[in-house]
């Protein structure tokens, strides 16, 4: 099945076996053309956010559990997860009649925690991030004798994720570039291996969050590295240390890794929601974020597949992300004006903003700032706008009318 030492090599036959096992469990998710993501590039979306658990993770989890011996199944399974692997293991274990215990970091979205419980697992919340949940799961495995289902560094899990590569090659056989999120590396290992066996000329790029670039750092430095901390809205790929197996596979089969900021991720989530009517979580949106930010090389005129790996985003986080994405795209703006405190000023400002076609959503009046004259005030206005050019036009119109627009 895999590499190094006593572990067998991963083979395409193993991936096809996983596809056969998964056939009655998962859905073959659609490949959707997204013509407005990037002009001049044929961008397609592989919609694993529409998978049965809202994420690709069920593929690897179910195939791994299906390959356990009867003795291992009797012990029950334990896993650690930022949320999506948890749901996959819970569903797979329940369908197989096996007890499951999942260790989740206490920062995991509530929606993922509750979904894991609904799929039939017992949940253990652990203070910290994914890596802390991993350590707790290993401790409980050793104490209780559970069979540990690793979220990414396991040959059968990687083979299960590789079934997405089979589907991509069937649905988009002329793909030039495939872009995949990276956390621990299980997804891109399976997808990249499978695609390279079928079409070696197809490029595979990985994307990490700038706040959790563990695989990028490891590949660049030529050795596995552990980050001191991770911080990103893409909780599904917030991993401090990549896997041993996945590190080797990424080295061998992946053509490059780029990173994207949380603001770029927020804009990608908003873009998918508005243009494609798709809800993606942060981790699932990073391939689109990389395309929008122009970080993937040589894709003009090419057929590009973005793997939207999951859609399990908490609604409270989604609302914040939408607000951030609106600001990133120039769809909302905060404008501050220094005014003399006299009647009629607000009316004049409102008329100018209305004439430019913007919509005022909130107004804040501040006369307490110690940096201004005692007879002056700051008027802070939030407006809905079309784009950055529209924001500039509003500010220019206010300045032309004699108002002092502040860059604050």
Domain ranges of the chain: 12-56+154-327, 57-148, 332-406
| pLDDT value of residue 6 | 33
To the nearest 10°, the Cα dihedral for 114, 130, 291, 43?
-50
340 catalytic residue (yes or no): no
Q: Where are the alpha helices (DSSP H) in 240-281?
A: 244-253, 262-276
Q: Do domains 57-148 and 332-406 have the same CATH topology?
A: no
Percent of the chain scoring above 70 in pLDDT:
97
CATH code, 12-56+154-327: 3.40.50.1100
Instruction: Count CB-CB contacts under 10 A for residue 111.
Output: 18
Q: Helix 244-253 vs helix 155-171: angle between axes, to the nearest 10 degrees?
A: 30
Whether the Cβ atoms of residue 81 and residue 130 lie closer than 8 Å to each other:
yes
Q: Which two tokens stand for residue 318?
A: 């989604």
Location of structure tokens 């959503």: 361
* Residue 7's pLDDT band (cuts 50, 70, 90): very low
Which residue is catalytic, options 55, 100, 309, 329? 309
pLDDT over threshold 90, residue 215: yes
Phi, psi of 360 (to 5 degrees): -80, 130
- What are the distances in angstroms from CA 142 to CA 62, 75, 94, 138, 146? 22, 12, 22, 6, 7
Which tops the pLDDT comparison, 377 or 9? 377
What's the pTM?
Answer: 0.86
- What are the distances in angstroms from CA 74 to CA 154, 249, 307, 363? 20, 32, 35, 63
Which tops the pLDDT comparison, 384 or 1? 384
Which residue is catalytic, options 17, 46, 55, 57? 57
Q: Which CATH class is domain 332-406?
A: alpha beta
Secondary structure element (H or E) that encloses residue 46, with its range = strand 42-47
Q: Mean pLDDT, to the nearest integer, of 175-181?
A: 98
Task: Give the separation between CA 287 and CA 168, rounded to whole angstroms.
Answer: 15
pLDDT over threshold 70, residue 395: yes
Q: Which of 145-159, 162-176, 236-250, 343-357 has the lowest mean pLDDT?
A: 343-357
pLDDT over threshold 70, residue 16: yes
* 3-state SS class at 336: strand
Q: What is the pLDDT of residues 283-341, one digit of tens each?
A: 999 999 999 999 999 999 999 999 999 999 988 889 888 888 888 888 999 999 988 77
309 catalytic residue (yes or no): yes
CATH code, 57-148: 3.40.50.1100
| pLDDT value of residue 8 | 46
Q: Report the DSSP pairing between strands 177-181 and 303-308.
A: parallel
Measured in residues, the chain has a length of: 408
Q: Mean pLDDT, to the nearest integer, of 120-137?
A: 91
Whether the Cβ atoms of residue 185 and residue 257 lie closer than 8 Å to each other:
no
Whether the Cβ atoms of residue 182 and residue 113 lie closer than 8 Å to each other:
no
| pLDDT value of residue 408 | 61
Q: Mean pLDDT, to the nearest integer, of 181-193?
A: 97
């Amino acid at each position: 099945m895999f590499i190094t030492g006593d572990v067998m090599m991963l083979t395409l036959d193993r991936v096809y076996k996983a596809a056969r096992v998964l056939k009655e469990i998962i859905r073959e998710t659609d490949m959707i053309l997204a013509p407005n993501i990037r002009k001049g590039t044929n961008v397609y979306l592989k919609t694993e956010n529409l998978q049965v658990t809202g994420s690709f993770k069920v593929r690897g989890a179910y195939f791994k559990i299906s390959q356990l011996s009867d003795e291992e199944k009797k012990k029950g399974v334990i896993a650690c997860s930022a949320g999506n692997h948890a749901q996959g293991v819970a569903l797979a274990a329940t369908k197989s009649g096996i007890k499951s215990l999942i260790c989740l970091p206490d920062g995991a979205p509530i929606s993922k925690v509750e979904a894991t419980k609904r799929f039939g697992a017992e949940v253990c919340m652990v203070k910290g991030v994914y890596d802390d949940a991993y350590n707790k799961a290993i401790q409980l495995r050793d104490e209780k004798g559970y069979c540990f289902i690793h979220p990414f560094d396991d040959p059968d899990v990687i083979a299960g994720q590789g079934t997405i590569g089979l589907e991509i090659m069937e649905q988009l056989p002329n793909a030039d570039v495939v872009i995949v999120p990276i956390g621990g590396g299980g997804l891109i290992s399976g997808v990249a291996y499978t695609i390279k066996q079928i079409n070696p000329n197809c490029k595979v790029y990985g994307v990490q969050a700038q706040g959790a670039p563990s695989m990028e750092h490891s590949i660049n430095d030529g050795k596995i590295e552990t980050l001191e901390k991770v911080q990103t809205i893409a909780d599904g790929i917030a991993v401090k240390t990549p896997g041993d197996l996945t590190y080797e596979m990424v080295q061998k089969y992946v053509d490059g890794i780029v990173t994207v900021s949380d603001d770029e991720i927020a804009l990608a989530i908003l873009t998918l929601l508005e243009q494609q009517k798709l809800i993606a979580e942060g981790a699932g949106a990073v391939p689109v974020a990389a395309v929008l930010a122009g970080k993937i090389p040589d894709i003009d005129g090419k057929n590009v597949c973005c793997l939207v790996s999951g859609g399990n985003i908490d609604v409270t986080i989604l609302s914040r992300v939408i607000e951030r994405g609106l600001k990133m795209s120039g769809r909302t703006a905060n404008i501050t004006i220094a005014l003399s405190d006299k009647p009629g000023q607000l009316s004049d400002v409102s008329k100018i903003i209305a004439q430019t076609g913007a919509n005022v959503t909130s107004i804040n009046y501040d006369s307490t700032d110690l940096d201004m004259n005692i007879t002056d005030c700051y008027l802070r206005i939030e407006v809905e706008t079309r784009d950055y050019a529209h924001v500039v036009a509003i500010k220019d119109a206010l300045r032309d009318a004699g108002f002092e627009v502040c860059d604050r």
